[in-house]
Amino acid sequence: MPVVSVSLMNLPETEAALGWAGAHCLIADRPEGRAGGMGLGFNGAQLLALAIGGCFCNDLRYIAHRRGVAIASISVKVHLALEGDPPIATGAEMTVQCVMADGSDPQPLIDEARDSSMVGCSLPRGIPVTVSSDPRPA
């Protein structure tokens, strides 16, 4: 079974976290002035919305390559609804604009991506999240 692993650690002289996987990295932080945040990076809700939309964009490309068709442009907007304290994501709405290079109808690609997107299909089913502590110093 494939496993994807990422790592995060505090960003020195801040209360933000630097996250990485392979050669790619990003910063997670709270908005400036909130709980020590400096606004240096994405908050958790933004990261979740980016995961939904980013996975969908990648899936559109995978499907197009598999079908031997070219996409001229993709534009995706994700609106993530939050409720409660602490905030819980209660829904996501994604709007997709996809233009095929040959002018054909992109809807079949959009439909297949909707039905096969790893993030988009995993979230409605829910996944268990376990948390354990490592007693070794960071």
For 17-63, the pLDDT digits (tens) are 999 999 999 999 999 999 999 999 999 999 999 999 999 999 999 99
- What confidence tier does 95 reach under pLDDT thresholds 50, 70, 90? very high
pLDDT score of 137 more than 80: no
pLDDT score of 138 more than 70: no
Structure tokens at 118: 């790893």
- Rounded CA-CA distance 10/42 in Å is 14
Question: Exposed (0-12), middle (13-18) or buried (19+): which is 65, by Cβ within 10 Å?
Answer: exposed
Return the closest-CA partner of residue 113 out of 65, 70, 58, 69: 58
For 53-75, the pLDDT digits (tens) are 999 999 999 999 999 999 999 99
pTM: 0.91
| Strand 88-100 to 71-83 pairing | antiparallel
Return the closest-CA partner of residue 41 out of 6, 79, 10: 10
